[in-house]
A = this chain, B = another copy of it.
Amino acid sequence: MPHADVTAIPEALTKAQTYEYLNEQVEALCFEQRNWVCNLANSASLLWHAFHSLPGKSQSVNWAGFYVLNPKAESELILGPFMGKVACQTIKFGRGVCGKAAADGKSVVVEDVDTFPGHIACDGDSKSEIVVPIVKDGKVLGVIDIDSTTASTFDEEDRKGLEKLATILADACDW
């Protein structure tokens, strides 16, 4: 099967079912492949296509990807694989939504980024955001970062689905 067919996500699925499909596909792609760049690159593609297969606000997703620990700077994230427009290269722990999630090791769902203290506007079109940390053995390895041009795009189902994805990737990759 051509790999691209994996992104043909059935459109009749609910959001919960879409995350279930996505996470099953990521597990399959990571089978016998532990390279983190390769696995995050394909996961970013799956995320992008999953959001755009859903009805409503999920179609407003304009950036889907990853930041990982910067091997050259302490307490700093650096850009990983993603789908979307050119993005900020590094983010200090504690700065903006990504930095907050990385510093606290907890997911952050932001309904309106303009009201988030210290928000970093990589893209002025982004209006809402969800960031989920990737954690292994108590250490933050990176974050999943999703932006949308519509306010209040992300909810509890997104948080649960992305936290499951973060768990899969934490275990499935050599970081």
Contact = CB atoms under 8 A, between A and B. Distances in A.
Between A80, A81, A125, the greatest number of chain B beta carbons within 10 A of the residue's beta carbon is seen for A81
B41 A79 contact: yes
Between A29, A82, A121, the greatest number of chain B beta carbons within 10 A of the residue's beta carbon is seen for A82
A3 B86 contact: yes
A115 interface: no
Contact of A3 (B42, B45, B83, B87): B87
Contact of A41 (B5, B65, B124): B65
B122 A86 contact: no
Interface stretch (A30-38, A104-112, A150-158, A165-173): A30-38
B122 A2 contact: yes
A75 interface: no
Contacts of A49: 85
Q: How many copies does the complex hold?
A: 2
A70 interface: yes
B38 A80 contact: yes
A125 B4 contact: yes
A30 B127 CA distance: 28
Interface residues of A, number: 40
A84 interface: yes
A92 to B, nearest CB: 15
Contacts of A65: 41
Interface string A1-25: 0111111000000000000000001
Contacts of A6: 85-86
A175 to B, nearest CB: 12
